[in-house]
Amino acid sequence: MLFNPLNGCKKRKEEQYIACKQLLKLTEYFELIPRKAKLLSTISTFLNFQLLDLETRRIFRKKMKEFIFTWSIENISFSWHNSEEKIISPSFTAGPIQNSAWTLWLRPRGNLIGDYLSVFLHREEDNGPEILSVNFELSCVSADKSLLHSHVFPESDKAFKKNSGFGHPRFMRRNEVFFQRKDLYLPRDVLTLRCRIWQNESNVDESGESFGFTRLDIERVLTVENINPQILKENTVCIDLKCQNKTLMSISTLHYGDTIGVEINPTNVENIKFSVLKLSFMEKINKKLLSEHLFSWMGEPLPEFWRLPVPCELLDNGNEDSVENNVELVSEFVYSTGQIQMFVNACPHSSRFSELVSKYINSCIPSGNLSDAPRITQDLWNLYVDHVFCDVELKTQTTSFFVHKIVLCARSPVFLAMFTDDLKEKRNRCIEIEDIMDDILEKFIFFLYTDGFDDLEWEAVIGLYYAADKYHVERLKILCCSYLLKNVDVDNVCELLMLADKHHDSDFKRRVEDFILQNDERIFSSSTWKQFVYEQPLLPATTMLLRYDKERERENSAETYDTKLSRLPNVEDDFVALYQDETISDVIIKTTGTSFPAHKSVLCGTSATLIEMFTKDLKDKSTDIFEIHDWEDNTFSRLLLFLYTDSLGDAQWDIVLKLYHVAGIYQIQRLKIKCSCFLLENIDTSNASDLLLLAHNHRDVKLKSVVEDYILMHDEEIFGSDRWADFSETNFRLANETMRDAQRDAVAKFNHVADMYQIQRSKMKCSCFFLENIETSNASDLLLLAHNHQDARFKPVVVGYILIQDEEIIGPVEWADFNETDFRLANETMHSK
């Protein structure tokens, strides 16, 4: 039987409740209104005491009609709302309260008082009575739903008409919520508010509950660049939104003695409502943080200039090459554009699953953004860089580039024709390219693999335009045209006109001509144009005559390049087409009943295990046959779909479990992350034990930790089920370990409450329980608990245990994670030895 810390204090809590009720009668008799409100708040706290079991709650509570609405606002730190703006929750219907309809209103920067958060309960239009008197409580709760702050509004004070509301303009101090106690109030940047509405005069016990969720959409852009602060040269880093192919801002750095000048130049930021920029100087090799600086803007970011202190490590290092190779500037730009998503649910699972998936993603991906997870494009680029399975040589006059045929054929119909027709390139696997310079071809190859089009200058884009036109890479061609037109001026417009004319690009040429006609006086009078007329008179003459072409004026303007790009396939789309067409495969995988044509480079992109298998067992064969008899046909078909498309398609739970198993065996990290996210999104009390066993068997510490969190949140329902009983019989040790974690979690919550209400006897009992069950795996958690509660008796004992077991505790992953999040406390503990 699990230890129940409440058994010893029920009487004490009941005595406190009775005392409060007696005091309440006195305050009503003497009309002490302020004292009455305080007592009501205290009593409400007892009634909402989350750790009380149902039996104890019944002792405290009379019959009433009650409804509780819990509202979670994600990414609240990025709210852009001023004191005149509010965030409105999803509407909820309180069935027990005469089916009345309500919303919560939150003003993140107060109701004309910027130092506070203002919270109001607002009655909406409904079919209930015109005037409705209710008691209500507005509160803020923590991630485990423990009460952090509360205010009670008695029924005698508030009568709600339709479309009216009441609340507290000074509900909580912003400084406490967003700064002083942010970890407690905003776990994972989620603010959770709770509204409890009730009516006391009732002959029946009736209650209801619902959960609302609001997400302030944010975008996160992470950029990492090598810099050399010791060289007097300006370094410029561009923060790009790759999905829209535009630069949000550039960050220029220049060394000034013992400071670094940082200049911020925003460009495409007109839709940004609130943003935060974090600049970090880090050692590249060991990822040591040298210095960190945080900047934020309400509204559009503005051009700014700062002087930041140079980290001592950079000033002391006299070797320029080592500095240049070892220092990174990490720019993390996070912004909101004013988009909001809302939904309401009868159970809290949606909110909690979102937190679980976020926790897992943050543990696997540094940026915390699933879009930054490994993808097929990055995997193939890594194979190119490492010269793994490169099967084609692109040969210029001076250099050879070894690439993958699959990439050339997926991106370019010209290359595809070369390798499918009976040409010498197909036989020799060598393509001679004499009309493209080495540096341009290198950038061209980078685009074919990644769709990357960054940090380019005019001459390079001219060269890329030529390569894109020659090999019919339409997406690159459009990107080049867009760049050139954005950077055209009086001095280079003639070069652009000749380029479009030479390549018979009528659409591009028309846009260049439009620019010339819009700036005709400046261009036609320039020395560049006069020289152009002298050298090639026909083309400029034809262009100048366009001023008198009336038909041209009546023609509709061409669609924008952004529109064109949206219709063109990107690199992932090209690989999907390659998968569907089964083109130029170089390996055949035979399962029990089917053969699958595939490409070795795609199969091996993320798997060192498969690379070793193919290089060892299938060496020097033109078409390889590889047999895998322990995979089902459907499983391997789904695996191929993912490897080419980064999508699980319409896969169901059982298939994803098998794919996760395959990802673990062959070390396919991006598949493992994708499967884990799917499984966490679909976890429930009936399958949680299956997922726990999967993570345990594969020694997946990150996934197991998140599944354990879910089980602890639903411990009563899961531990009391027949499914868990069956699971415990076959996996006794794992089940027992998980239940002990639940026990420790419950005691930790109770210890927090005992400390809050200064129930010393219960606090001592919790401490004894912790010390009886302390282990090397949980010692850091207990240290943090004692430190946060400033427990001068409990903390030294935990520190003593850690110092005795220092070799076992300070080495493992748990302590490394603790050291990252609580560096000062960890450092203090290690130094106390």
Give the C-alpha separation, 802 to 799, whole Å: 5
What is the pLDDT confidence band of residue 139, given thresholds at 50, 70 and 90? very high
Residue scoring higher pLDDT (499 or 57) = 499
Other Cβ atoms within 10 Å of 366 Cβ, number = 13
Each residue's pLDDT tens digit, 68-97: 999 999 889 999 888 788 999 999 998 888
pLDDT of residue 555: 57
pLDDT of residue 720: 77
At residue 258, does pLDDT exceed 80?
no
Q: Which residue has the tokens 């290359």?
A: 415
pLDDT of residue 831: 73
At residue 1, does pLDDT exceed 50?
no
Most confident of 100-109, 229-238, 390-399, 528-537: 100-109
Q: What does the DSSP assignment read for 591-641?
A: -SS-EEEE-HHHHTSS-HHHHHHHHHHSTT-SSEEEE-TTS-HHHHHHHHH
Give the C-alpha separation, 623 to 603, whole Å: 15
Burial class (CB in 10 A: 0-12, 13-18, 19+), 688: buried
At residue 787, the 3 state secondary structure works out as helix
Which range, of 314-328, 486-500, 555-569, 784-798, averages the lowest pLDDT?
314-328
Percentage of residues of the chain with pLDDT beyond 70: 75
At residue 508, does pLDDT exceed 60?
yes
At residue 316, does pLDDT exceed 80?
no
At residue 743, does pLDDT exceed 90?
no
Give the C-alpha separation, 790 to 758, whole Å: 13
Contact 274, 239 (CB under 8 A): no
Q: Mark out the alpha helices in 519-617 (DSSP H runs).
A: 520-524, 527-535, 538-545, 550-554, 561-567, 571-581, 600-603, 608-617
Q: What does the DSSP assignment read for 311-325?
A: PHHHHH---HHHHHH
Phi-psi region of 699 (alpha: psi -120 to 50; beta: other; left: phi over 0): left
At residue 503, does pLDDT exceed 70?
yes
At residue 752, does pLDDT exceed 70?
no
pLDDT of residue 63: 64
Each residue's pLDDT tens digit, 422-480: 555 555 678 888 888 988 999 999 999 888 887 788 889 999 999 999 999 998 999 89
Other Cβ atoms within 10 Å of 745 Cβ, number = 17
pLDDT of residue 319: 45
Q: Which of 789, 757, 758 has the alpha carbon at shortest distance from 770?
A: 789
- β-pairing, 206-226 vs 65-74, is parallel
Residue scoring higher pLDDT (200 or 285) = 200
What is the pLDDT confidence band of residue 105, given thresholds at 50, 70 and 90? very high
pLDDT of residue 753: 44
pLDDT of residue 339: 83
Please indicate, yes or no, whether the overall pTM of this predicted structure exceeds 0.85. Answer: no
pLDDT of residue 34: 46
- What's the whole-number average pLDDT of the chain? 76
At residue 757, does pLDDT exceed 50?
no
At residue 366, does pLDDT exceed 70?
no
Each residue's pLDDT tens digit, 383-400: 888 887 788 888 888 889
Measured in residues, the chain has a length of 833
Contact 493, 512 (CB under 8 A): yes
Give the C-alpha separation, 247 to 238, whole Å: 7
At residue 379, does pLDDT exceed 60?
yes
Residue scoring higher pLDDT (831 or 448) = 448
Give the C-alpha separation, 554 to 747, whole Å: 78
At residue 577, does pLDDT exceed 70?
yes
What is the pLDDT confidence band of residue 261, given thresholds at 50, 70 and 90? confident
The helix, strand and coil proportions of the chain, stated in percent and rounded to the nearest 5, come to 50, 20, 30
At residue 763, does pLDDT exceed 70?
no
Mean pLDDT of 637-666: 82
At residue 569, does pLDDT exceed 50?
yes
**DSSP 8-state class, residue 188:** G
What is the pLDDT confidence band of residue 520, given thresholds at 50, 70 and 90? confident
Q: What does the DSSP assignment read for 412-424?
A: -HHHHHHHHTT-H
At residue 31, does pLDDT exceed 50?
no
At residue 53, does pLDDT exceed 50?
no
Mean pLDDT of 508-520: 85
Give the C-alpha separation, 293 to 476, whole Å: 36
Give the C-alpha separation, 381 to 606, whole Å: 11
φ/ψ (deg, to 5) at 332: -115, 115
At residue 560, the 3 state secondary structure works out as coil
Residue scoring higher pLDDT (650 or 751) = 650
Give the C-alpha separation, 616 to 628, whole Å: 15
pLDDT of residue 410: 84
| Residue partners of 717: CB distance under 8 A and separation at least 6 | 685
CA angle 278/282/284 to nearest 5° reads: 135
At residue 547, does pLDDT exceed 70?
yes
Most confident of 104-113, 333-342, 396-405, 609-618: 396-405
Whole-Å CA distances, 720 to 491, 685, 716: 78, 11, 6
Q: Which of 114, 118, 113 has the alpha carbon at shortest distance from 86?
A: 118
| Residue partners of 829: CB distance under 8 A and separation at least 6 | 783, 799, 802, 803
**Domains of the chain, CATH where assigned:** 65-204 (2.60.210.10), 218-312+324-340 (2.60.210), 488-554 (1.25.40.420), 688-762 (1.25.40), 763-831 (no CATH)
pLDDT of residue 87: 93
Mean pLDDT of 290-310: 81
Q: Which pairs count as long-range contacts for 578-584, CB under 8 Å and 24+ apart, including other chains?
A: 578/406, 578/409, 578/410, 578/644, 579/640, 579/641, 579/644, 579/645, 583/409, 583/416, 583/420, 584/405, 584/406, 584/409, 584/416, 584/419, 584/420
pLDDT of residue 219: 81
